[in-house]
Amino acid sequence: MRRFSIAVVAAVTLGTALSSVPAQAHQGRPALGLASCTAGTCHFDVPPGTYDVQVTLGGPAASRTSISGETRRSLLSETAAPAGERVTRTFTVNVRTPEGEPTGPAGTPGLDLRIGGSAPALADIRVTPARQARQIFLVGDSTVCDQPGDPYSGWGQQLPQYLGKGLSVANYADSGESTVSYLGNPRLWATVRPLIRPGDLVLVQLAHNDKTTDGATYRANLEKLVAGVRERGGQPVLVTPIVRRWFSADGTLNNGTALLVNGLGVDHPAVIRSVAAARGVPLIDLTAKTKALVESLGVEGSKALYLTNEARDNTHTSVRGATVYAGLVRDELVTRHLVPKGKVRVG
């Protein structure tokens, strides 16, 4: 059985211990510390925006603490603190409505965090508005989105745990979307585009649902997304889709189902690579990366990355698979100098 403790410690900046107060205290302003936490959860009554969360972890015994928030986003991977010591970490989180998929339910107002891990111990927490955050917008489908329930997880849902203070993931991926539907739905591209600020990154991975999109239309849609990002001063990044776990007889993924070639013969990854080269857009070739990984694990070993055993689903990823694939994205962001190495976490 795991143990849980929230150790109320002296607030260094105040010189006194935090006391339990209602969330709406302090002349109507929300309490942005331990007073907003109870029984392994923290709720901060804040408006939509971007916030820095600083946590101090540890207690009398050795501890291992992780933090998730909003719609099952992984914000801090399990972090160890030796007995009697404190470890401080800071991450930046996007608070929006709806809090998960753009076409999904609104969710709970404010910022909700959950304290987990094999031996969690939260000693202190501070939530403040982020003043110099850079957003990483995600435009994608169900393999990227903030999935609402177990055992599903999109890689965008796991990406925040790899990012430090000043980088925030705004995941606007949505289940079932193609390039056609994403551009056409006012809750999607028409909502995302005005939010993009100069210097923001916009990662686009749309292909899985373009099953009936012809090649010319698919290419034009990608170009429209690229142009829209650039018009706002953002940095577009094209991402080829994760592979489907669909092995050929020779133990490879060399077939149209696995490599996202649609019924019209449109090779989605090839078109994405072509647009990236023609338009001078950074490319994350997640198809090639995930293909190599899945093939290296083999028919049996790769099942854990997908929901093969749980749901006979070889398209959508498990939490484990989404975490691994998010790590591949993180590595590419650093390798291509899209984010500073000092702003990411390893492991």
Question: Which of 173-204 are b and which e, b meaning 16 or more Cβ less than 10 Å from the residue's Cβ?
Answer: bbbebbbbbbbeeeebbeebbeebeeebbbbb
pLDDT tens across 298-329, in order? 999 999 999 999 999 999 999 999 999 999 99
pLDDT tier, 20 (very low <50, low <70, confident <90, very high otherwise): very low
Length of the chain in residues, anyone?
347
Q: Compute the C-alpha angle 126/129/135, nearest 5°.
A: 115
Relative to beta strand 87-95, strand 37-38 is unpaired
Residue 64 has pLDDT above 60, yes or no: yes
Contact 177, 211 (CB under 8 A): no
Residue 30 has pLDDT above 80, yes or no: no
Q: Where are the alpha helices (DSSP H) in the chain?
A: 155-158, 179-184, 189-192, 215-231, 268-279, 286-301, 308-311, 319-335
DSSP lists the bridge partners of residue 301 as none
At 59, list the tokens: 């207690």
CA-to-CA separations, 251 to 29, 57, 63, in angstroms, rounded: 59, 45, 42
The answer to which of 28-32, 142-146, 159-163 has the lowest mean pLDDT is: 28-32
Q: What was the pLDDT predicted at 132?
A: 86
What is the rounded distance in angstroms from the CA atom of residue 212 to the CA atom of residue 205?
Answer: 17
What is the rounded distance in angstroms from the CA atom of residue 132 to the CA atom of residue 22?
Answer: 29
What is the rounded distance in angstroms from the CA atom of residue 172 to the CA atom of residue 145?
Answer: 7
What is the rounded distance in angstroms from the CA atom of residue 41 to the CA atom of residue 21?
Answer: 15
Give the pLDDT mean for 270-294.
98
Contact 240, 287 (CB under 8 A): yes
At 213, list the tokens: 């999109």
Residue whose C-alpha is closest to residue 5's, from 62, 53, 82 = 62
Residue 9 has pLDDT above 70, yes or no: no
Relative to beta strand 10-11, strand 134-140 is unpaired
Contact 132, 125 (CB under 8 A): no
At 301, list the tokens: 């070993």
Give the pLDDT mean for 155-172.
97
Residue whose C-alpha is closest to residue 16's, from 8, 25, 28 = 8
pLDDT tens across 189-216, in order? 999 999 999 999 999 999 999 999 999 9
Q: What is the mean pLDDT of the chain?
A: 91
Residue 111 CA, chain-centre distance (Å), reads: 16
Place of tokens 């996007």: 94
pLDDT tier, 17 (very low <50, low <70, confident <90, very high otherwise): very low
